Copies of this chain bind each other. A is one copy, B any other.
Amino acid sequence: MSELKIVDGGICAVKGVKAWGTKEGGHGLAFIAGEGNAAAVFTKNKIKAASVQVTREHISSGKLSAIIVNSGNANAFTGTEGLENARTMAKMAATALNIDSASVAVASTGIIGHQLDMDEIQNQFKSIAGKLDASKEASEHAANSILTTDLSKKEISIEVGKIHIGAIAKGAGMIEPNMGTMLAFIYTDAVLPQETLKRCLKQSTDKSFNMVVVDGDTSTNDMAILVATGACGAVDEAEFQSGLDFICTELAKMMAIDGEGATKLITAKVAGAKSDDDAKRAAKAIVRSNLVKCAVFGEDPNWGRIIAALGRSCAEIDPTKITLKIGDGEKEITFVEGGEAVLSASAEESKEIMAGKDVIIFLNLDIGTYEAVAWGCDLTYDYIKLNSNYLT
């Protein structure tokens, strides 16, 4: 296996990709050009934004040439006018690149139920279309322009052998399997057929984006797109998969720690489950629990809430076999062993283990061999503040 090396450049670390973006006030626009085979995964929400509808149509050919993304307005539940506006966005991008508008993906994120201000989008597009560039800064501009309540841009790129994978993403609130106002645009310059891209993206998504919970509200707008420009030649599929896993997992963690109002990253590691589904259900139930999230915020080792969340997760368990530890990345404390509460640390030490930025919950169900990891964040005063006056 070739070594996986983190490199600079985001999506522009990938040969054949150019990008730019702009953001004014709460409204941003990104434009990415990069031609190749493409695959995507979309929200499971039954209310699908106009962008989701248009992009599903356009990607059915198995190829994409460009992506246009606006932030600040979800263009969801906006009827035929919204659909028309999403198509107009695709046409803008197509005209600038002299390509077919059916090869352009459209993505949106922001408030639901409001029509886009198409004049503003036209003006923003005019200001960025001529700046498309393959530099590190170009990827940064694009990454920044798609953020909404995110505090920091989400961008990562790696080199695996002679090929690259680079991505930018957005996601802070409304993140939940599967999936949750998260947008991820991933490029590679490997030569890969569309079927492989599809399979690899599905597999990576299942253990990364679909294992992030911020608030349990699945959005109308989620999508992750993977495009292979093919500019750097062939790659071993297993090697590509592990590179893509890394990219998606890093983005998932960035989303969790940047959850609205979050101060801590919660990682729930479940082992010894009877099935893959059980492991995932258990891990997600823990990071989804408001009570666990509040306890982590308060650095309160109230492990009973973790056990209660596990119990209602639908995962098969044997209460007499459970082992539960909490760690901070350096040390860990055992709270339950073989189904019994153990006092292995003082109250002070127990509180201290939750004082850092990282709170890692280890749960061994000890009735099988399946494992899963889920990521989430604490529930804080700032989450309430951000979400109680979004409009005002």
Using a CB–CB cutoff of 8 Å, the interface residues on chain A facing chain B are 44-48, 74, 76-79, 111-114, 173-174, 215-220, 288-291, 294-295, 297-298, 300-305, 307-312, 317, 319-320, 335-336, 339-341, 379-381, 383-384, 387-392
Contact = CB atoms under 8 A, between A and B. Distances in A.
Contacts of A319: 46-47, 77
A219 B308 contact: yes
Nearest to A380: B384
A300 B390 contact: yes
B44 A216 contact: no
Nearest to A219: B308
A47 B311 contact: yes
Nearest to A290: B215
A384 B384 contact: yes
From A44, A295, A391, residue with most partner B Cβ within 10 Å: A391
Give the number of times this chain occurs in the complex, counting copies. Answer: 2
A338 to B, nearest CB: 10
A300 B389 CA distance: 6
Contacts of A46: 310-312, 317, 319
8 cross-chain pairs, A with B, having the tightest CB-CB distances, nearest first: A112-B304, A298-B388, A47-B311, A294-B387, A113-B304, A218-B312, A45-B311, A215-B290
Contact of A379 (B44, B74, B289, B384): B384
A305 B112 contact: yes
Contacts of A300: 388-392
Given A79-B339, A220-B307, 9 more contacts: A47-B311, A76-B304, A77-B341, A113-B336, A215-B290, A216-B216, A217-B290, A220-B308, A297-B388
Contacts of A219: 308
From A79, A388, A392, residue with most partner B Cβ within 10 Å: A388
A48 to B, nearest CB: 8
Given A304-B111, A307-B113, A312 B388 contact: no
Contacts of A79: 320, 339-341
Given A47-B311, A319-B77, A379-B384, A303 B113 contact: yes
B174 A74 contact: no
A379 B294 CA distance: 12
Nearest to A297: B388
29 contacts: A44-B312, A45-B311, A46-B310, A47-B319, A48-B311, A77-B307, A77-B339, A77-B341, A79-B320, A111-B304, A112-B304, A112-B308, A113-B303, A113-B304, A114-B304, A114-B341, A174-B291, A215-B290, A215-B291, A217-B305, A220-B307, A290-B290, A290-B383, A294-B384, A300-B388, A300-B390, A300-B392, A301-B391, A379-B384
Contacts of A311: 45-48, 218, 220
A300 B391 CA distance: 7
Nearest to A216: B290
